[in-house]
Structure formats: C-alpha cells, structure tokens
C-alpha cells in the first residue's frame, strides 16, 4: 500500500518560502538493520519569521519529533504533512522515524538482483519522493546544504551528492554539500562495482551491480571519454567550472527515468550498461543522456527553477545542450539524426494531444500536475525552440545571457523572466514576442504545401492561436533528376507563395529548423518510393520519415502507402536509428491498422529480411534489421530455428536480448508456453531476463496469461516497476481480441483503484501501459472519455486516459479513412 499524501500547491510553496529560510540538513540513515525498512533521523536548522507551516514526512512509523526543546505530537501527521507552529527566530527540528524501502523507482528504492541475490539501494527524491527518505520542507526553492551519515552492511559501498569515506566498517560519513533542492538529494548504496578516474581536477566515478561488473568495465573507457569531452566543452561554453566536487555516474536497477541529474551523483537506468550487443543509435542515446545530465549541472543544479512551472528551464536546455555537445565533441557526430528519429515525434504527438501545454508557464498548480508535464513538450519541443533561439541570437549573446543567469543566481532559484532578462541585457533585444508565441502558447502550427494554389499554408491550432514565423529549409526533387534541391523559406503568414512544378516531390522542414507539424502532400507521397533509393542524406531521410509519420498520425496517408515508402527506403538506409525506431512503429501500429494486417506484417518482414541479407555481417545495421525481422515474423518454424541457433545470419549471435526477443515473438504467436518461459528464466536469471520473461508471459494468447498480468496491474501481486511495465505492454497484442475482450471492461472498472497500491510515476505509467489500445472501437473511446471526465479520478490517471483516448480515436480515423478492418 502507498502512503497517501497531499500534493504541494504552488500557493502553499510561496507561503512557506516567505516564512522559512532553511540553513542546513543533517540526515542519519541506518540501512543495515532490515531489508524492508530503514531508520531515518533528520535534523533541520531553519529560521522562521513566525507562523504556522508544515513539514513533509512519509514514514512507516514516527518515533519522535522535537522542535527545539519541545516534543511534538506525531499523531498530528496527516497525509504526509506534520503541522508546525513557529515563533520568529532560529529553530532546530529533529525527526526520528522509520521509513519503508520502495520498489517503484522512487524514494529509497531497494531491489534484489536475480543474478546473485545481492541487494541494491538508490535514492530518487524527485518531485515529491524526498519525504519518504528524510523529513524535509519539500519544494525546489528552499535550498540548503546537506550532510549525510550512513550505516550500511559492511560489504556495501555508499556514494552520495558529496565526497564521503568509510570511517569504520559499515559506517560512512559524507561531506556537506553546496545548497541543494530536496529533489536532488540521493544516496547509492550496495555491493556496487566501482570504477574511478579523474579529469581536470574532477574525481570521476562509475558504478553498477556486481553481476554486470564486466560489462561496466568494457564500457568504462567510452563513458569516461565522453564525460571528459563534455566537461571540457561545457567549461568552454559557460566559463564556469563544475562546482559540486566529485562527478559520479551510478547505473542503478529499476530506474524510472533515463537518468536523474543529482549533483555529484547522477543516477542512470542500468540497461545503459550494455550486456548485449546494441545498435549505434542506442550508444548515441546513452551519449546524449550523459551529456544531458552534465548540462543539468548548470541548467538546474547551479540555478534551479523556483517552481515546477519553469521545469523547462531544466529539461529543454539540457536536451538542447546534450544533443549539441554530443554532436560537436564526441564520436557521435550524427546525434542530431538520432534526435530526429528518437525525439521529434514524441514531442509533436504530445503537442497535438488534448493535454498539450505551453513549454513555459504550464500552469502547474501543484507538484503532481507538474510531474505529468515532464513529457515530449518539455524536452523535444523546448529543445527545438531553444535551438531556434540560438540560431537567431548567435552563440555570443546566447551564452553571455546564460552565464549572467548562472552568476546572478548561483546556488539559488530563478524564473524564466530572470533568464530572459539576462539575455536581453546581453543584447538579445525585446524577447517578449518570442516568449509569447513559442513558449507560452501550446500546440504546433500546421505547415503544409497547397500545390494547386502555389502556397505554403500556416495554420495555428484552433484552440491556441499564435503568429509564429518559421524559417525552414525545403527539399524538392523529381524522379530521374539530379537529386534533391534545398531552398530556404520563411513562412511568416497564413499563406507564403511557393510554386512547384508537377511531378516534383516537396519535403517541408526536413532538417527540423522550426517546430511545426509538417506532412507531405499526396503527389509527394506518390513520388517518394521512386526518389528514396537515390537519397543518401541521412538527415533528409529522417525528415522524410517524420513527415510521413505526422501524416499517418493525422490519417492523411494510407498504411499501404507507408509500407511503399519503407520498401523503397530500406535498401539504401545506412542509419540503424531509422530501423530501430521506424520498424516497431510499422509492425505495432501501421500494419495493424491496414486493410490486411497479416499481409502488411509480411511486407515488413520481407523488407527487413532483404535488408538483413544485404548488411555487413556483425554490423549494428545488421543487428537493427535482425531485431525488426524477429518482431515482424509470423513463421514459428523460422523463429524456432533461430532460437536453437540454426539458420542465423552470419554475424548474428543470439545473446540475452535477442534470445528473449525471439521468445517474446513466439509467445505473441502462441507458439511457446509458461513452462518454456520459466525454464528460460531459470537458465539465465538476470534483471533483463526477469523483465522479458514478464513481457513474454503476458503476451501469451490464453486466459491464464492475461489473468497473470492483470494481477500485477491491480496490485494483487506486487512486482518491481520494470516488470509491471512489461506486463502492460505485453498484454495487449493485435490478433488476441477474443481472450482480451473481458479486460476492456475490467480496465475501466479497476483503474481507479490502482491509486491505492501505487503512486507517482508508476501510477500514471501503469494506467498508460495497460490501456486497451488494441480495442480500436468507438465504444472504447467513449468509455475512456467518460472515465476521464470523472473529477474524482486521480489527476495523473485522468491525464493518461485523455491521451490514450486521443490515440485510440486517431487510430479509428485511419481505419475509417482507408478501410482498415
């Protein structure tokens, strides 16, 4: 059961900030006595201007609360808040409590490695999880230094935000940190394997579970090299040195996000330590994540948003700088191509949902609402807008303003207005129009070619009008011509003249110079299969695919036409990102919505097998093609031969990832069973196998498998977050309608009760993962909309329902437009 708590309102945060100044935290944690709970003793020294307020605390049990010399009544604790009445002056508050370890990726998360039974702990304090680790005033603008004292099992390593040392067996003392927001405080503890290095006076570290120590050692040189390169570039660009002492990168199990930028000790999801062969694109993803978290040390850590409605000051900047620095100074110069495939549609789709919101000033009235806005708008759209701003201002003004911002508010908090004032002072001029149009107005403009009228039309969203100017490039070509011609075009009004000859294909904004919803017209769609075989610009091909994907999302292109593009593009494709991100979309969505889903899936499979045969053995392009071939395969005999090591393409080795990919596909087809899956897990018990076993078992097309998965959704069976996600994504499979039919009704009946068994990220994620997306019917759309209209439903669940109903309605639109069954 979760510990219900109230979400902090912005008005409450303002009042508490005006009342209190926090001087320091001293936190004593005992992790050694129990594997279910830990002792937490917090001493907070603060100044008050006198008045009533509250402390944030989510304990299993409170032993004593003492304010100065007075013991407070712990029974007044109500839904995570302990009332405090303060007099003017300095106070010392001591809270002695027992807290619960968690397994949902928040608070102090404790997991057991299935490979060897070892226990691992890490802290994730983000948003509202800190009070389940230590007592605090949990809001971003009450920063203070922290000192941690930790008792742990004797064979554990303890790492935190500040350098530390083991003063006696099992007892660790960490230095005092610079001022931090509560959500940055972390602790990584367990029998971790640690690798250390140093660069430019900064101690560097990496850590991961012992069972993947060899994999971390193999990746350490690449990780340290990227870290050094990024530090040098950030120091050059900002002229301000990293100020948080050590820089440790901890790869931890069952982490919800990609990573968390805790000063001094960044935490990453540990699948980013590669235990199987991965594509180049996956390596780029890791590199940009490393650079993203390093950018946060300036954007977010030195200067932190005052409230969550400025979260974009963290994420949009880190996204832009992470991609830019990765492309500029590491071996991954194609990072922007990766970004086009991996992030563009994430942001564009989020910006078209009914739940869209501005990049900045997103109206986050409370912390819970703000959590839902950590989405493709805050990351991908915000990054694109900042890239546009940089192109307009130039590096000199752009970075001069950023440096002024860091200097003025060092170790403090600031707002968007503060940052834009620094830019304007640096020479940007009046940015109010830019702010209003791009950052404070939601939704993308639709920018499309009207071939007959000879214009490019710009249409803002009906509910979010704005007057935005788009400076873009336009690529055009004719079959049999001299290739693509690229022109520059400024779309500054509802209609911009752009004449095009018949028989010429036009791709708008293929290089993503602006943030807009662009999609190809009918003639371009018809011509693309003839043009793509001679298109060798990787970034242009990525732009073509994003145009096509946007058109499909808006039911403007038939599934069969999308497959025509695939068959033409795949033979010349040399970016494994194109395969890695496009093929799952084709197999999971496009083929399923076609007139002939089975035949369309066969088309994808034939195209990937043909690509596979033409790839260099052992290349990452071959790996991406093989992954696609497995997931689109409906031939159980072929899958069996691959699983047994027969008929594998030269250069493909069946490692743990590929073995489970084959088993999952056999499960989808109903060509394996629970016993075989259990035996595969027992033969190779590790974290990845546990997750993929859950996905495979939930994918089986039988009543027992779906009931097994549903027990995890309702909380009848408690499982870690990664396994829960895998069960949801595995459960709803195309072609399993009969066995899934009862769970459409059960989803809407059981969803509200999940608030009693989980919270935070996992609550909303499970609502999305278990949504019946394969039930593409008007009745399911109406059921989702009706439940989302229940004002009593938990806010993050309502948000997911709104988004999933929109997705389902768009899938219905494709079927209606193009005759899908």
Helix axes of 620-631 and 576-585: crossing angle, nearest 10 degrees: 10
> Does the residue 371 lie in any domain?
yes
717 CB-contact burial (10 Å; exposed 0-12 / middle 13-18 / buried 19+): middle
pLDDT at 367: 77
- Residues 170, 175, 179, CA angle at the centre, nearest 5°? 135
For 616-657, how does the pLDDT look when each residue is reduced to its tens digit (9 = 90+)? 999 999 999 999 999 999 999 999 999 999 999 999 999 999
Region 482-506 average pLDDT = 96
State the average pLDDT for the chain: 95
Task: State the catalytic residues.
Answer: 293
pLDDT at 150: 98
Name the pLDDT band for 1 (thresholds 50, 70, 90).
very low
487 CB-contact burial (10 Å; exposed 0-12 / middle 13-18 / buried 19+): exposed
For 531-578, how does the pLDDT look when each residue is reduced to its tens digit (9 = 90+)? 999 999 999 999 999 999 999 999 999 999 999 999 999 999 999 999
> Does the residue 131 lie in any domain?
yes
How many other C-beta atoms can be found within 10 angstroms of the C-beta atom of residue 174?
Answer: 22
> Does the residue 63 lie in any domain?
yes
CATH number, domain at 348? 1.10.390.10
β-strand partners of 208: 193
Place of tokens 């970034």: 539
> Does the residue 414 lie in any domain?
yes
Q: Nearest 5°: phi and psi at 290?
A: -60, -50
> Does the residue 241 lie in any domain?
no
Cα separation, 521 vs 500, whole angstroms: 12
How many domains are there within the chain?
Answer: 2
- Assess contact for 397 and 427: CB atoms under 8 A: yes
- Assess contact for 57 and 82: CB atoms under 8 A: yes
Cα separation, 254 vs 720, whole angstroms: 7
Cα separation, 776 vs 816, whole angstroms: 11
pLDDT at 4: 55
State both tokens at 592: 């399923």
pLDDT at 370: 74
- Assess contact for 456 and 526: CB atoms under 8 A: no
The answer to whether residue 53 scores a pLDDT higher than 50 is: yes
Name the pLDDT band for 363 (thresholds 50, 70, 90).
low
- Assess contact for 790 and 755: CB atoms under 8 A: no
pLDDT at 761: 86
State both tokens at 818: 């193009």
Contacts of 333 (CB under 8 A, 6+ apart): 327
> Does the residue 387 lie in any domain?
yes
In this structure, the chain runs to a length of: 821
CATH number, domain at 95? 2.60.40.1730
Region 426-445 average pLDDT = 94
Global pTM value: 0.96
pLDDT at 3: 44
> Does the residue 631 lie in any domain?
no
The answer to whether residue 419 scores a pLDDT higher than 90 is: yes
Largest CA distance in the chain: 87
Among the residues of 102-176, which ranges form H helices? none
Cα separation, 295 vs 315, whole angstroms: 9
Cα separation, 315 vs 116, whole angstroms: 36
Cα separation, 733 vs 324, whole angstroms: 38
The answer to whether residue 357 scores a pLDDT higher than 70 is: yes
pLDDT at 126: 92
Q: Which domain holds residue 409?
A: 340-439
- List strands edge to edge, sheet with 516-518: 495-497, 455-459, 445-450, 516-518
Residue after which a domain boundary falls, among 439, 469, 499: 439
Residue after which a domain boundary falls, among 404, 439, 474: 439
Cα separation, 339 vs 341, whole angstroms: 5
Name the pLDDT band for 371 (thresholds 50, 70, 90).
confident
pLDDT at 786: 96
State both tokens at 489: 């075009």
Nearest to 41, CA basis, from 147, 167, 160, 184: 147
For 4-42, how does the pLDDT look when each residue is reduced to its tens digit (9 = 90+)? 578 899 999 999 999 999 999 999 999 999 999 999 999
Residue after which a domain boundary falls, among 399, 417, 439: 439
> Does the residue 541 lie in any domain?
no
């Amino acid at each position: 059961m979760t510990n219900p708590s109230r979400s902090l309102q912005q008005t409450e945060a303002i009042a508490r900030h005006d009342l209190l100044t926090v001087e320091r935290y001293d936190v004593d944690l005992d992790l050694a006595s129990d594997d279910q709970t830990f002792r937490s003793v917090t001493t907070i020294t603060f100044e008050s201007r006198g008045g009533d307020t509250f402390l944030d605390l989510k304990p299993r049990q409170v032993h004593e609360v003492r304010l100065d010399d007075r013991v407070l009544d712990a029974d007044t604790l109500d839904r995570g808040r302990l009332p405090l009445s303060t007099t003017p002056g300095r106070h010392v508050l001591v809270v002695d409590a027992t807290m619960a370890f968690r397994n949902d990726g928040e608070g102090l998360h404790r997991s057991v490695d299935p490979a060897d039974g070892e226990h691992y702990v890490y802290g994730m304090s983000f948003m509202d999880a800190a009070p389940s680790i230590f007592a605090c005033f949990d809001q971003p603008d009450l920063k203070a230094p922290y000192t941690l004292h930790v008792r742990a099992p004797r064979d554990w390593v303890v790492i935190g935000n500040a350098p530390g040392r083991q003063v006696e067996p099992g007892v660790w003392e960490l230095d005092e940190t610079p001022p931090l927001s509560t959500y940055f405080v972390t602790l990584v503890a367990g029998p971790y394997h640690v690798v250390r290095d140093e660069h430019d006076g900064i101690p560097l570290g990496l850590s991961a579970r012992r069972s993947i120590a060899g994999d971390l050692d193999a990746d350490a040189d690449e990780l340290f090299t990227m870290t050094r390169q990024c530090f040098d570039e950030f120091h050059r660009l900002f002229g301000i040195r990293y100020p948080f002492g050590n820089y440790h990168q901890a790869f931890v199990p069952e982490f919800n996000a990609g990573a968390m930028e805790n000063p001094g000790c960044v935490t990453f999801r540990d699948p980013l330590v590669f235990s199987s062969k991965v594509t180049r694109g996956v390596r780029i993803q890791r590199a940009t994540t490393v650079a993203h978290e390093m950018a946060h040390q300036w954007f977010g850590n030195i200067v932190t948003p005052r409230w969550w409605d400025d979260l974009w000051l963290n994420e949009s900047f880190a996204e832009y700088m992470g991609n830019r620095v990765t492309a500029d100074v590491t071996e991954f110069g194609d990072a922007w191509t990766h970004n086009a495939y991996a992030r563009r549609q994430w942001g564009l789709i989020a910006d078209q949902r009914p739940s869209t919101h501005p990049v900045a000033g997103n109206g986050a009235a409370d912390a819970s609402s703000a959590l839902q806005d950590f989405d493709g708008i805050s990351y991908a759209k915000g990054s694109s807008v900042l890239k546009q701003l940089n192109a307009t201002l130039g590096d000199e003004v752009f970075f001069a303003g950023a440096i002024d911002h860091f200097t003025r508010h060092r170790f403090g908090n600031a707002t968007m207005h503060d940052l834009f004032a620094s830019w304007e002072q640096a020479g940007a001029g009046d940015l109010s129009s830019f702010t209003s149009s791009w950052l404070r107005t939601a939704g993308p403009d639709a920018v499309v070619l009207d071939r007959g009228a000879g214009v490019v039309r710009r249409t803002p969203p009906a509910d979010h009008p704005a007057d935005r100017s788009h400076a873009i490039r336009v690529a055009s070509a004719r079959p049999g011509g001299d290739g693509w011609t690229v022109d520059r075009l400024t779309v500054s009004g509802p209609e911009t003249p752009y004449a095009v000859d018949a028989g010429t294909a036009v791709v708008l904004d293929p290089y993503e110079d602006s943030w807009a919803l662009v999609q190809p017209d009918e003639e371009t769609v018809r011509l693309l299969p003839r043009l793509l075989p001679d298109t060798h610009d990787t970034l242009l091909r990525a732009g073509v695919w994003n145009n096509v994907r946007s058109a499909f999302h808006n039911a403007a292109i038939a599934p069969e036409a999308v497959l025509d593009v695939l068959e033409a593009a795949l033979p010349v494709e040399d970016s494994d990102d194109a395969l890695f991100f496009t093929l799952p979309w084709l197999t999971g969505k496009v083929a399923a919505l076609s007139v002939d889903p089975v035949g369309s899936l066969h088309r994808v499979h034939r195209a990937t097998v043909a690509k596979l045969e033409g790839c260099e053995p052992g290349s990452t392009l071959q790996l991406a093609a093989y992954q696609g071939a497995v997931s689109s395969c409906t031939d159980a005999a072929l899958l069996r031969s691959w699983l047994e090591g027969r008929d594998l393409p030269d250069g493909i080795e069946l490692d743990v990832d590929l073995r489970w990919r084959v088993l999952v596909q056999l499960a989808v087809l109903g060509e394996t069973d629970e016993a075989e899956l259990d035996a595969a897990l027992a033969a190779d018990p590790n974290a990845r196998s546990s997750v993929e076993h859950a996905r495979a078992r939930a994918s089986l097309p039988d009543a027992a498998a779906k009931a097994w998965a549903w027990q995890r959704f309702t909380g009848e069976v408690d499982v870690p977050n990664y396994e829960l996600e895998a069960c949801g994504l595995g459960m709803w499979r195309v072609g399993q309608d009969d066995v899934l039919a009862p769970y459409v009704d059960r989803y809407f009946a059981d969803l509200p009760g999940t608030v009693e068994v989980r919270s935070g990220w996992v609550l909303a994620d499970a609502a999305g993962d278990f949504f019946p997306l394969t039930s593409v019917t008007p009745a399911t759309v109406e059921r989702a909309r009706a439940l989302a209209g229940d004002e009593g439903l938990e806010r993050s669940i309502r948000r997911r329902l709104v988004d999933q109903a929109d997705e389902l309605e768009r899938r219905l639109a494709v079927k209606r437009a193009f005759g899908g069954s």
